């Protein structure tokens, strides 16, 4: 019950309220019992949802590290991983030594200046340049080692994730299942780059900060000594006052950054998702440019793009606000930090117990310690960005894990796959379901003999295309078993052919290599399928996916069949873009040029029946589509003979 509804409930009215118009304030104890229970239940649900979201985020980070740490595995990791890691540690130690040397140089040069010792100043000036050169040199080597590690780690993780993504058609199956894996191309590029770049920087930064803190705390403790001040007639002695001040200041700055930047991770994650959606929207326009242009859909596409861009800008506005908050802390900290040690050391310098060189050495060491302790302050925005990117990559990994489990049948109803010697294909107690278990095609028993040509027909929505995906192995959900002829090759021709980038020769030979066939062989095939006008463009590198018409693309896929010569082909509306005459010519070509070829076709055109020996009809039922008829078709010449006899009557 909402607050508005409770006002209208008579149980909330007190005497005198109606006459005076005053509203009596009601505490939770005054509410009816049923409302208190509902409020408590709603609160529990909100808390439970928040806890579940926290657990989900923690699990995603663990899932990312489970894969990413394999880079350092002896069995399957990168052979240079440990060498590069050790090199980084050594370089950090060397760089720390250079920092300490420069810190000592600061003390010596300012002491010499205070004493007006020109000889020492000249000597220290000469020493500075080799010291600076060594520091710069080691810094450059450090950058090389760090970025090489990042590059190789990214390559290793990319190979691991992309291999799983491309295996068994999972890149396609992700479009069919629910889960947080939208725009995988963005996750595999920008998110994966951030996920592997940042941890190396963080590890180097944390180690360097820790070693710097330990080293220069010792310096501060040694040179700072104790601060003695008079408070209310008592002498107060504070040992290691510079160390205490540095730690207190760093804790204060880090705590402030944690408070003001607590929403940074969520905002960064929302920004990344909005950017990915925006890129996907623009990619769709490019890929479907012809259809959009023919339909005149530019205004509608522009409206969709504007909505996506508006969302991106809103997310960037939220991120800007977070950056503004964190800048207050980081900028303020960077301005105040160098001044604090000078103020703290001023009393000891003024009473002569601390030289100018020691003051400057203390100021330098204090700044280094403060920077080490304030590492979180400086890196919180990037840490939040990494957190969001790592979780997006992990979400994709989790979805791939689910598909992998479906393939192995672990906790899923999975279609088993086997081999047979006495048929081209057998569907045994076969059923197809969605990933949530909803039946698409009910229990079916079909045997397709070698060389048989089977037409699968039925109304739209009866699961014909899903059946084709299951036969080809792209759809693992369901039950029963598919047995394929032993040592045979199955070839699937989708309604929308895929044309890869590159030369026309590569497009025809796909998925094989263009070099597997001589140019003359490919030209001969193009001539047979009605693409003779493209023979002279075989080596031309052009956007063939945009250049070829729908009919030309489908002719090209028939050319692939003639080149690869599979044992079984599955055609999913693979001639729908052709006119009936062209369709007849190509189907006849397949029948004559590839004797013994087993064909399984999905189609609606009645003209296809003459090229098939059998027709299976699917019909939608409550428990999934069912095979309602399996009839033998007459050969094409017998149909012509019967028509001639009928006309003679």
Tell me the β-bridge partners of 558: none
Higher pLDDT: 438 or 115? It is 115
In this predicted model, what pLDDT tens digit does every residue of 211-220 receive, in sequence order? 988 888 888 8
The DSSP code sequence of 586-603 is HHHHHHHHSTT-EEEEE-
Is a pLDDT exceeding 50 seen at residue 240?
yes
Instruction: Work out the average pLDDT over 470-480.
Output: 81
Helical spans, DSSP H, in 23-80: 33-68
pLDDT band at 559 (very low <50, low <70, confident <90, very high): very high
Rounded Cα gap, residues 547 and 544, in angstroms: 5
Q: Which fold has domain 63-407?
A: ABC transporter transmembrane region fold (1.20.1560)
Is a pLDDT exceeding 60 seen at residue 9?
no
Check residue 648 and give its pLDDT.
46
pLDDT band at 644 (very low <50, low <70, confident <90, very high): very low
Check residue 151 and give its pLDDT.
93
Instruction: Work out the average pLDDT over 323-340.
Output: 80
Is a pLDDT exceeding 80 seen at residue 10?
no
In this predicted model, what pLDDT tens digit does every residue of 401-421 receive, in sequence order? 888 887 776 555 778 888 898
Q: Is residue 189 within 8 Å of 236, Cβ to Cβ?
A: no
Higher pLDDT: 355 or 463? It is 355
Cα–Cα distances (Å) from 251 to 8, 215, 257, 264, 373, in that order, read 52, 18, 10, 19, 7
What is the model's pTM? 0.67
Rounded Cα gap, residues 108 and 358, in angstroms: 8
Cα–Cα distances (Å) from 286 to 201, 272, 300, 312, 549, in that order, read 37, 21, 14, 20, 16
Domain boundaries, the chain: 3-62, 63-407, 416-648
* Helix pair angle (298-336, 375-408), 10° resolution: 140
Look over the chain and give the mean of its residue pLDDT values, rounded to a whole number: 80
Stated as kind and residue range, the H or E segment containing 204 is: helix 192-224
- Does CATH place domain 416-648 in 3.40.50.2300? no
Cα–Cα distances (Å) from 446 to 103, 424, 648, in that order, read 83, 11, 39
Instruction: Work out the average pLDDT over 633-639.
Output: 56
In this predicted model, what pLDDT tens digit does every residue of 277-302 receive, in sequence order? 888 888 888 877 767 886 788 888 88
CA atoms within 13 A on the CB side of 209: 17
In this predicted model, what pLDDT tens digit does every residue of 596-624 receive, in sequence order? 889 888 887 788 888 888 888 887 777 66
Q: Is residue 453 within 8 Å of 598, Cβ to Cβ?
A: yes
Higher pLDDT: 489 or 373? It is 489
Instruction: Work out the average pLDDT over 517-524.
Output: 91
């Amino acid at each position: 019950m909402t607050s508005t509804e409770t006002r209208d409930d008579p149980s909330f009215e007190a005497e005198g309220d109606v006459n005076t118009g005053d509203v009596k304030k009601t505490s939770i104890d005054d509410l009816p019992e049923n409302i208190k229970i509902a409020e408590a239940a709603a609160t529990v649900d909100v808390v439970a949802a928040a806890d579940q979201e926290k657990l989900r985020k923690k699990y995603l980070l663990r899932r990312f590290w489970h894969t990413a740490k394999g880079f350092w595995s002896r069995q399957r990791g990168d052979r240079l991983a440990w060498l590069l890691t050790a090199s980084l540690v050594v370089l950090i130690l060397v760089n720390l030594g250079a920092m300490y040397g420069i810190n000592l140089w600061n003390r010596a040069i300012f002491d010499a200046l205070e004493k007006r010792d020109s000889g020492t100043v000249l000597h220290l000036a000469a020493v500075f340049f080799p010291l600076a050169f060594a520091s710069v040199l080691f810094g450059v080597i450090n950058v090389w080692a760090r970025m090489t590690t990042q590059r190789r780690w990214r390559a290793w993780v990319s190979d691991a994730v992309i291999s799983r993504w491309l295996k068994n058609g999972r890149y396609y199956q992700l479009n069919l299942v629910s889960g947080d894996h939208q725009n995988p191309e963005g996750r595999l590029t920008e998110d994966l780059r951030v996920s592997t770049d940042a941890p190396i920087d963080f590890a180097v930064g944390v180690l360097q900060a820790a070693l710097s803190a330990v080293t220069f705390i010792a310096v501060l403790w040694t040179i700072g000594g104790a601060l003695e001040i008079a408070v209310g007639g008592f002498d107060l002695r504070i040992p290691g006052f510079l160390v205490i001040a540095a730690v207190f200041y760093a804790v204060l700055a880090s705590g402030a950054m944690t408070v003001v930047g607590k929403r940074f991770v969520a905002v960064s994650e929302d920004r990344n998702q909005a950017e990915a959606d925006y890129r996907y929207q623009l990619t769709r326009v490019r890929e479907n440019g012809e259809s959009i242009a023919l339909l005149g859909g530019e205004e509608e596409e522009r409206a969709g793009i504007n909505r996506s861009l508006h969302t991106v800008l809103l997310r960037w506005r939220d991120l800007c606000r977070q950056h503004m908050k964190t800048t207050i802390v980081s900028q303020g900290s960077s301005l105040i930090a160098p001044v604090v040690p000078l103020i703290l050391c001023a009393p000891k310098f003024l009473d002569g117990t601390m030289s100018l060189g020691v003051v400057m050495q203390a100021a330098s060491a204090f700044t280094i310690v403060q920077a080490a302790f304030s590492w979180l302050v400086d890196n919180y925005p990037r840490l939040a960005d990494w957190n969001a990117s790592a979780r997006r990559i992990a979400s994709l990994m989790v979805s791939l894990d689910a598909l992998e489990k479906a393939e192995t049948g672990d906790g899923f109803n999975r279609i088993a796959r086997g081999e047979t010697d006495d048929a081209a294909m057998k569907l045994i107690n076969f059923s197809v379901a969605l990933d949530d278990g909803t039946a698409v095609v009910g229990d079916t028993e079909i045997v397709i003999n070698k060389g048989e040509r089977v037409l699968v027909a039925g109304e739209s929505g009866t699961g014909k295309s899903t059946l084709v995906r299951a036969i080809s192995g792209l759809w693992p959900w369901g039950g029963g078993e598919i047995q394929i002829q032993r040592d045979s090759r199955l070839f699937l021709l989708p309604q929308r052919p895929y044309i890869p980038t590159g030369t026309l020769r590569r497009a025809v030979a796909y998925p094989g290599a263009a070099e597997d066939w001589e140019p003359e062989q490919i030209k001969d095939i193009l001539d047979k399928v009605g693409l003779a006008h493209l023979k002279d463009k075989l080596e031309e590198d052009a956007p063939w996916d945009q250049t070829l018409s729908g009919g030309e693309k489908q002719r090209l896929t028939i050319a692939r069949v003639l080149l690869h010569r599979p044992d079984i082909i599955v055609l999913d509306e693979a001639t729908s873009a052709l006119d009936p005459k062209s369709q007849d010519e190509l189907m006849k070509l397949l029948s004559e040029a590839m004797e013994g070829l087993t064909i399984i076709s999905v189609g609606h055109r009645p003209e296809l029946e003459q090229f098939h020996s059998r027709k299976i009809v699917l019909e939608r039922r409550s428990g999934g589509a069912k095979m309602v008829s399996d009839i033998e078709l007459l050969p094409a010449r017998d149909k012509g003979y019967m028509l001639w006899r009928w006309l003679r009557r």
